[in-house]
Structure 1
């Protein structure tokens, strides 16, 4: 466990993000929840300002924060403000919750790489927000698409090739 780290990302509905990240090399665990809002103990019905996000536990000897960000920018649309698919509102914003200056710098660099690639028709609007606290979502939201394989998701791999 000494090589395990956590990353906190939000890119729309947390179900689809979790389902895609769970299968990535080096990802040990995923958990959906609320992050970046104004109330303690948020719930699905009461999470003002919180994004629907995921906590990714990964083995840094098998993958890196940069590689996770690369995948993140390929599975959701980072050019729409407060929207993914049919989901609209700040809960569905694209955000990277950095835990230190190294992660912030890597995120800034990755955004430049994505913008310079011109794969997206517009520039990235993903916010960089300092990590404060991650609140796990209710049990019915954890592993949702494992339980309901035909459930709603707006996430898919938009580009098969890496940005890096």
Structure 2
């Protein structure tokens, strides 16, 4: 099922992964980046996790500058998650991610095929990379195989505005897409009662 649009998006702006010093007393936040197939769905799933402050759909992993939805060869669809580590841990984000995708599929996710829809965890620090590698080993032990790439994050490029919060702006189209693509059904088939662990009451 190929998603198509009639509205052209503006070129995305580059995001620097280097943080700025926060004033004393400011809320401490961290970022995490996950590629889990359609970024609309990944964004929706993480938005339903307590402690997540913001989600941004975008592109990551390719070589070009300013990728767009219609020109992002070599990139994956991904979501940058901004979270409050005092309310939700990175380990919890990893748990939610793994149990809301099919990590055994090397060719894409659900009805969306090709590299752009393959899964990956992009660590934004060495501590995250260590935690992500440990979680990968646990999932491999649980499922027998893992096709998800775990690596250090390169530049993340935010997607066009019409992709942000798509599930909120177009709830009927979004639900039709998610159901038609078979996302929830496949995740439940792979994970059984562990499907959507941490956000089970949401499930799309």
**TM > 0.5 fold call:** yes
Larger Rg belongs to:
2
What number of residue pairs does the alignment pair up? Answer: 159
Native 8 Å contact 1:36 1:129 kept in 2 = no
- Aligned residue for 2:35? 10
SS of residue in 2 equivalent to 1:67: helix
The two structures, once aligned, show a CA RMSD in angstroms of 1.6
SS of residue in 2 equivalent to 1:17: helix
Equivalent-residue separation in structure 2 for 1:148 and 1:16 (angstroms): 12
Native 8 Å contact 1:69 1:110 kept in 2 = yes
Q: Is 2:165 the counterpart of 1:137?
A: no
Equivalent residues in 2 for 1:72-111, closer than 5 Å = 72-111=97-136
Equivalent-residue separation in structure 1 for 2:52 and 2:154 (angstroms): 22
Q: Return 5+ residue gaps in structure 2 as ranges.
A: 1-25, 189-194, 199-204
Pairwise CA distance, 1:27: 0.3
Q: Is 2:95 the counterpart of 1:70?
A: yes
SS of residue in 1 equivalent to 2:41: helix
Q: Return 5+ residue gaps in structure 1 as ranges.
A: none
Native 8 Å contact 1:14 1:53 kept in 2 = yes
Pairwise CA distance, 1:145: 0.9
Runs of 4+ in 1 over 4 A off after TM superposition: none
* TM-score, scaled relative to structure 1: 0.90
